Amino acid sequence: MYILKKIISLILLCLIGVVTFILATDYKPNAIEKLDVANRSDKENAPSKEMTIGIFNIGYGGLDASQDFFMDGGTGSRSKSPEKTKENVSKSIAFLQKKDADVYLLQEVDIDSKRTYNINEQLMITDTLATYDYAATPYYKVPFVPVPLRAPYGKVEMNLLTVSRYKMSEGTRYALPIDESIPNKYFYLDRCLMETVIPLDNEKELVVINVHLSAYDKAGKVKEAQLEWIENYIAAADLENKYYIFGGDWNLIMTDTSIEDLENQRDYWLEKPADFKGRGFEWIYDERVNTVRELDAPYKKGETFERVIDGYLVSPNLEVVSVETADLGFESSDHNPVMLEVKFK
């Protein structure tokens, strides 16, 4: 009995220690935080004629076509190897270089995570795009994620990253509503918007907003709260002096859905709201090519569930020239990148 009590006491002490550690190390960003911008571009005041933008969720360099993911019904929790991680990120970077856009909004960029062997993917990107300004902010920063039990995620540090050919004058992180339930609050992503500002040669500004809304939100309540937050942001937007482009991974089905779609769609990919209050802001996406694939198993074209969930929300003082999703076959990421060209009105 004495030994049993000792064992129980030891287990309780360990649990108390783990809980204390989690509470003490929980990442608690402020509602609004100013960000440092790395000014490396020599191109001041972007031309107020046309602009090309690219969005790409790079799947933290670990979700290439051969991978599955435990949260989607698969078993994987880490990139296959350090070499494969670098290969995947390098392929994503090669695409960015080839397209040569003015601005890129990137999601799921690991900087120091066990799942990607502590490789600084952001450094790989910014070292290659060495003449681009950039700003970044954490939105998944947890010292230890204990699942899955057979191969825990461990430490995760992941950023949103925005890079620009032209000078960016400022950057701001805006915290979005998150799942406040326990333990999700401590182990899920701290969703946010990252706003960066590019001065234009017409004395106005282009505001680009990097977006990655919640997934695994079965009831859709968190995502609804995040969209309401964005509606309020848009309500206060200065359309006289600024142009706005939101871009990224919305975790919303962009295209019109059929009965079959609704039967098959995953519970974390909800439809974009038909009653979105956006002051004339327009949802922009390419319905011809899917932007995300399911991760319950390695990718098989024609068999794997796919949908369009990556795209843009563009202010009415911009004219959309083109939008095109690059079909990369999910070779290096579970997402395909989407390119946008706009004209300034």
Query: Tens-digit pLDDT profile for the chain (345 aa)?
Result: 667 666 666 666 555 555 556 566 678 899 999 999 999 999 999 999 999 999 999 999 999 999 999 999 899 999 999 999 999 999 999 999 999 999 999 999 999 999 999 999 999 999 999 999 999 999 999 999 988 988 999 999 999 999 999 999 999 999 999 998 888 888 889 999 999 999 999 999 999 999 999 988 877 899 999 999 999 999 999 999 999 999 999 999 998 765 455 555 555 567 888 889 999 999 999 999 999 999 999 999 999 989 999 999 999 999 999 999 999 999 999 999 999 999 999
Whether residue 6 lies inside any domain: the answer is no
Whether residue 22 lies inside any domain: the answer is no
What 3 state SS string does the chain have?
A: CHHHHHHHHHHHHHHHHHHHHHHHHCCCCCCEEEECCECCCCCCCECCCEEEEEEEECHHHCCCCCCCCHHHCCCCCCCCCHHHHHHHHHHHHHHHHHHCCCEEEEEEEECCCHHHCCCCHHHHHHHHCCCCEEEEEEEEEEEEECCCCCCCCEEEEEEEEEEECCCCCEEEEEECCCCCCCCHHHHCCCCEEEEEEEEECCCCEEEEEEEECCCCCCCCHHHHHHHHHHHHHHHCCCCCCEEEEEEEECCEECCCCCHHHHHHCCCCCEECCCCCCCCCCEEECCCCCCCEECCCCCCCCCCCCEECCEEEEECCCEEEEEEEECCCCCCCCCECCEEEEEEEC
How many domains does the chain contain in total? Answer: 1
CATH of the domain at 283: 3.60.10.10
Whether residue 1 lies inside any domain: the answer is no
Whether residue 12 lies inside any domain: the answer is no
Per-residue pLDDT, 259: 45
Q: Residue 195: give the domain boundaries.
A: 34-344
C-alpha span between 65 and 297 (Å, rounded): 9
Per-residue pLDDT, 227: 96
Whether residue 3 lies inside any domain: the answer is no
Whether residue 25 lies inside any domain: the answer is no
Whether residue 5 lies inside any domain: the answer is no
Phi-psi label, residue 220: left if phi above 0, alpha if psi -120 to 50, beta otherwise: left
Per-residue pLDDT, 256: 77
Per-residue pLDDT, 116: 98
Whether residue 20 lies inside any domain: the answer is no
